[in-house]
Amino acid sequence: MRDVAIIGVGLTKFGELWDVSFRQMMMEAGARAIEDAGIDGKQIDAMYVGNMSSGQFIRQEHISSIVADHAGLVPIPSTRVEGACASGGLALRQAVIAVASGIHDIIVAGGIEKMTDVLTGQATGALATAADQEWEVFVGATFPGLYALMARRHMYEFGTTEEQMAMVAVKNHHNACFNTCAQYKTEITVEDVLKSPPVTSPIKLLDCSPITDGAACVILAPAEKARKFTDTPIMVAGTGQASDTIALHGRSSLTSLRATIEAARTAYKIAGVKPDDIDLVEVHDCFTIAEIMAIEDLGFCKKGEGGKMTEQGETVIGGRIPVNTSGGLKGKGHPVGATGIAQAVEIVQQLRGEAGKRQSDGAEIGLTHNVGGSGGTAVVHVLRRGD
Amino acid sequence: MDVGVVGYGVYIPRYRIRVEEIAKVWGDDPESIKRGLLIEEKSVPAPDEDTATIAVEAARNALKQTGIDPHDIEAIYVGSESHPYAVKPTATIVAEAIEATPDLTAADYEFACKAGTVGIQTCMGAVEAGMIKYGMAIGADTAQSAPGDALEYTAAAGGCAFIVGKNGGNTLAAIDDTYSYTTDTPDFWRREMRSYPKHGGRFTGKPAYFKHVLAAANGLLRKLQLTSQDFAHVVFHQPNGKFPLLAAKELGFSKEQVALGLLTPKIGNTYSGSTMISLAAVLDQAKPDERILAVSYGSGAGSDAFSITVRDGIEGKRDAAPKVLDYVGQRVMIDYATYVKFRKLLVR
Amino acid sequence: MAVPRFWREIPNRYNLVGARCGNCNKVLFPPRYICPHCRRMGKLEPYRLKRRGKVLTYTVVHAAANGFEDQAPYVLAIVELEDGPRLTAQVTDCNTDEIKIGDEVEIVFRRMGEDGQDGVIYYGFKARRV
């Protein structure tokens, strides 16, 4: 297997992009990544596109063809990858595997979701299809509701507080203020979060990531060729993916995502690193409780201490291990299919030292953590600065 | 006849609305309504309840008393005037939910408030004829009433299931006999595609309720050569609290004989459930060998009268499921706004 | 939900019919077609679960699921059944301030929704505090 490097990244603005179409977003992110990599489109061998639900959001399936077509890249192989909100992370992993195997050299891994072409109720209904339709959604579960069930149990088992969850949102909004692509560039307070309207107790509006339009791309190349294109290749040191029951009630733990633990175990092993070696992470904070559970399951603190770790400021930029320097899903926005790729874009920019006001100094190794549904899929990547 | 009650079960939703709460909205005088109708409050179904769910709860309670294999129930009849579907049986839903399917016959009945007791008669006939081993008859309703109509004070929700079988070791009470009286009397009706019933006001009294109830009761007494003195308890359909008391008096029954089954003041008129729930309330407390007269009434119009004799088997078995008074006592008061929301009277 | 999709699971939805594996004796619900523990060695047979359990966790849903708007706010819970399996269920007849972790519940038969005004009515299970 060959080592794989990321040689270019590109991101659209994240937010409610009323005047931008699905096709236009994808082209914008792709063009930026190609420009960043300094390659020519002709050099691209294949593409993988992460997308959760174009069928429900824009009534268009078969988007792999649309993307290749509009990029002017037909007839290269183009494949859509779907794993709910982990679609982007899975697309990256598929691209990494394809380059590592030697089948392709230069690959674009993209992710995209156009979510605002439907009304909010339809969008939340579409997101709920990531849960078990027969035995969760049919009985009245909503997507935030499933995370609320985890949050309530986490509070019960470990004493995690609503204030600690609110601190995740406060931090991520703060970080997003320094990210030009972020949806929310506004500071909020713990009190703002606690006083925001109830969505599904104990989750309140400001505990939730928003509905977002956005696209992201990274360009991959074999490590041995990467230096031809860039002085700062970022190595994909480890990749891990795991599955779990689609329904939350099917799992023995309601306070931990086994898929995260297993995916991280694999990624750490391949990369030859331990949690202690990681300098910064982008985790899947679709709800504030999700970030608290993620930093526990990824091994940055003991189980049950994610709330305390957040409260003690260990996850802020400059803290022991900065979490979601980009603003995370909460502050930067969560265009579901794009999120996994956008996380890699952030880590690449941080490792290159290009993150501006949100730069985490001296970062050598970073990690991305992308979750599908309530934890039925998780994918983890360890990225490292090229020597 | 050689048939009896093998088990019975009831269900009454937990929500209640008081007369005062409804009267406040329409500017009525609550005291005169409470006095005139002898009603204090009525049951209201939760937003996720309908005649099918109420029937299922009652049917499952009835089965708890018996210990019989539900597959031995070979007929199910659900009487209601608020079947969830205009076309598609409620009885199949019940049959499936109590695991009586597929070797049985089933149908929905409609005869205003007496459709449930017609089901009992059908089961009696089929059991007596040897067509079926056990039959289940259910009367259940989520009664409709137009906002502001006098019916709104009484139209309630509840249901009751009776399992009928041959008299034997497992019967709680023998059904001695039944007698019906039927004429074409349009005192209350609901036309196709209409949400709420219409009624003939005072015409629903003498020529309708009283004529049929009294005739059926007298017919059965004559047939069995019994008098009011031979019965420990009597139960009548209860469109309000007053009518059954007047009927009892006319037939020579005392207030004590009516007392156990008089439920409308506390739960309202449960329509197809009314007579059967009241009979269940009597069976909950009656002693072995006591005789009970039960007379239903369905607008349109007809009455079914039954003579029932309690047997020793009732002791012990009737404690297996919640009793009528348990449900009467479990109550959560709601205001008119919540009532409107629960009854889906708001249009989105 | 399309009629056949709902209809084929009526025994499961009305009566908590799951499966029991004759090989490992584990009870499974919602229904499965292969025992996840024994896989091909498993011997699944239909098994009706007892309608009792306790609340492991809950949430009060204010932003209702599509089709549940008329019931908002409502309580949703994960219930551990006496037979072992867990299920997600709405807790009916429950004020939003009444529920707590550890509450004993029974599984009851309620209306789950409908396919619009003209479509079929879906029935199924909910939990009720005892």
What pLDDT, in 10s, does the model give residues B19-34?
999 999 999 999 999 9
Q: For the residues B334-345, what does the mean pLDDT come to? A: 95
Helix (H) or strand (E) holding A268: helix A258-271
Query: Are B31 and B162 found together in one domain?
Result: yes
**Same domain flag for A177 and A278:** yes
The answer on B210 and B125 residing in a single domain is no
Averaged pLDDT for residues B215-235: 98
Sequential DSSP letters for B19-74 = HHHHHHHHT--HHHHHHHHT-SEEEE--TT--HHHHHHHHHHHHHHHH---GGGEE
The verdict on B337 and B256 lying in the same domain is no
In this prediction, residue A387 has a pLDDT band, given cuts at 50, 70 and 90, of low
- Per DSSP bridges, beta strands A203-204 and A198-200 are antiparallel
Q: Let me know whether B166 and B228 are in one domain.
A: no
B325 with B308, same domain: the answer is: no
Chain C partners within 8 Å of A149 (Cβ)? 57-59, 76-78, 88
Q: What is the mean pLDDT of chain B?
A: 96
* Cβ within 8 Å, pair A140-C30: no
Residues of C with CB under 8 A from a CB of B: 10-11, 14-15, 48, 69-71, 90, 92-93, 95, 108-112, 121, 123, 126
Mean pLDDT of A106-114: 98
Which residues does chain C have with pLDDT short of 70?
Answer: none
* Residue A119 in tokens: 């009304």
Residues B307 and B181 in one domain: yes
Please give, rounded to a whole number of angstroms, the shortest distance from the CA of B53 to a CA of chain C. 6
Let me know whether A18 and A152 are in one domain: no
Q: Among C14, C95, C126, whose Cβ lies nearest the Cβ of B48?
A: C126
Helices A63-70, A22-37: inter-axial angle, 10-degree rounding: 60
Residues 18-77 of chain C whose Cβ lies under 8 A from any Cβ of chain A:
30, 56-66, 68, 71, 73-74, 76-77
Residue B347 is assigned to a structural domain of this protein:
no
Whether residues A135 and A67 share a domain: the answer is no
ipTM above 0.90 for this complex: yes
**Domain that includes residue A108, residue range:** 4-119+212-226
Does residue B226 share a domain with residue B126? no
Instruction: Give the CA radius of gyration of chain A.
Output: 19
Tell if the CB–CB gap between A140 and C90 is shorter than 8 Å: yes
Contact (CB<8Å) C10/B341: no
Whether A20 maps to a domain, the answer reads yes
CB B244 within 8 A of CB B236: yes
Cβ proximity of B8 and B62 under 8 Å:
yes
Cβ-based contacts of A254 with chain C (< 8 Å): 56-57, 78
Whether residues B133 and B224 share a domain: the answer is: no
Q: In this structure, is residue A231 part of a structural domain?
A: no
Q: What is the CATH number of the domain that holds B164?
A: 3.40.47.10
Q: Which domain holds residue B187?
A: 177-313
Do A265 and A312 lie in one domain? The reply is: yes
User: What average pLDDT does this structure show over A86-98?
Assistant: 98
Q: Which chains have at least 3 CB atom pairs separated by less than 8 Å from chain B? A: C
Chain C residues close to B348, C-beta within 8 Å: 69
Decide if C70 and B47 are in contact by the 8 Å CB cutoff.
yes
Which residue in chain C is spatially nearest to A127 when comparing CA positions?
C65
CA distance C46 to B14: 34
| Residues A170 and A307 both lie in one domain | yes
- Put simply, the answer to whether A121 touches C66 (Cβ < 8 Å) is yes
Please say which residue of A197, A226, A255 terminates a domain: A226
**Can you name the CATH fold of C51-129?**
OB fold (Dihydrolipoamide Acetyltransferase, E2P) (2.40.50)
Enumerate the β-bridge partners of residue A218: A9, A109
The β-bridge relationship of strands B105-109 and B134-142 is unpaired
Decide if B348 is inside a domain: no
Q: What is the mean pLDDT of residues A87-110?
A: 98
Q: Which of B52, B60, B332 sits opposite C123 (nearest CB)?
A: B52
Cβ-nearest to C10 among B49, B96, B341: B96
Residues of A in contact with C86 (CB under 8 A): 249-250
**Is residue B175 within a helix (H) or strand (E), and if so which, with residue range?**
strand B173-185
Are A304 and A359 in a shared domain?
yes
A178 band by pLDDT with thresholds 50, 70 and 90: very high
Q: A246 in helix, strand or coil?
A: coil
Average pLDDT over residues A166-189: 98
Contact A149 C1 (CB under 8 A): no
Please indicate, yes or no, whether residues A152 and A288 belong to a single structural domain of this protein.
yes
Asked whether residue B14 carries a pLDDT value surpassing 90, the answer given is yes
Is A25 a domain residue?
yes
pLDDT digits (tens, 9 = 90+) for A12-26: 999 999 999 999 999
Q: Which of A104, A173, A334, A381 is catalytic?
A: A334
User: What positions of B carry a catalytic annotation?
Assistant: 81, 113, 237
Residue B136 and residue B92 share a domain: yes
Residues of B in contact with C71 (CB under 8 A): 47-48
Does residue B67 surpass a pLDDT of 90?
A: no
pLDDT digits (tens, 9 = 90+) for B88-125: 999 999 999 999 999 999 999 999 999 999 999 999 99
| Long-range contacts of residues A184-188, Cβ cutoff 8 Å, at least 24 apart | A184/A210, A184/A327, A184/A330, A184/A331, A184/A332, A184/A333
Residue A124, domain member (yes or no): no
Same domain, A137 and A62: no
- Predicted confidence at residue B347, as pLDDT, reads 79
Q: Could you report the per-residue pLDDT of A245-304, keeping only the tens digit for each?
A: 999 999 999 999 999 999 999 999 999 999 999 999 999 999 999 999 999 999 999 999
For chains B and C, what is the number of CB pairs under 8 angstroms?
Answer: 46
User: What percent of chain A stands above pLDDT 90?
Assistant: 99
**Residue A55 and residue A33 in one domain:** yes
Indicate the number of domains in chain B.
2
Beta strands in chain A (DSSP E): 4-11, 46-50, 78-81, 107-113, 198-200, 203-204, 214-222, 234-243, 280-282, 365-372, 377-385
Q: What is the mean pLDDT of residues B239-249?
A: 95
Mean pLDDT of A86-104: 98
Q: Tell if the CB–CB gap between A198 and C60 is shorter than 8 Å.
A: yes
Is there a single domain that holds both residue B307 and residue B190? Answer: yes
Kindly determine whether residue A199 and residue C63, on different chains, have CB atoms separated by under 8 Å: yes
Q: What are phi and psi of C4, to 5 degrees?
A: -60, -35
Residues A222 and A154 in one domain: no
CATH number at residue A89: 3.40.47.10
In this structure, is residue B241 part of a structural domain? yes
Q: Write down the pLDDT at residue A35.
A: 97
Q: Which of C7, C8, C34, C61 to mutate to test the interface with A (most CBs of A within 10 A)?
A: C61
Q: Rounded to an integer, what distance in angstroms lies between the CA atom of residue A18 and that of residue B130?
A: 73
Confidence of residue B346 (pLDDT cuts 50, 70, 90): confident
Alpha-carbon gap: C77 to the closest alpha carbon of chain B (Å): 17
DSSP-assigned letter for residue B191: -
Indicate the number of domains in chain A.
2
Work out the average pLDDT over A23-43: 97
Q: Which two tokens stand for residue A102?
A: 């030697």
Q: For residue A201, which residues of chain C lie inside 8 Å, CB to CB?
A: 59-60, 62
User: Does A52 fall in a domain?
Assistant: yes
Q: Do C101 and A152 touch (CB under 8 A)?
A: yes
Q: What is the number of CB-based contacts under 8 A between chain A and chain C?
A: 97
Three-state DSSP class for residue A118: coil
User: Would you state the pLDDT for residue A379?
Assistant: 98
Q: Is A218 a member of any domain?
A: yes
**Residues contacting residue A35 through CB under 8 Å, at least 6 positions apart:** A8, A10
**Other CB atoms within 10 A of residue B149 CB:** 15
Same domain, yes or no: A339 and A217: no
A79 assigned to some structural domain: yes
Interval A180-228: pLDDT, tens: 999 999 999 999 999 999 999 999 999 999 999 999 999 999 999 999 9
Mean pLDDT to the nearest integer, A339-360: 97
Q: pLDDT band for position B316 (50/70/90)?
A: confident
Q: Above 80 in pLDDT, residue B348?
A: no
Distance CA B21, CA B153 (A): 10
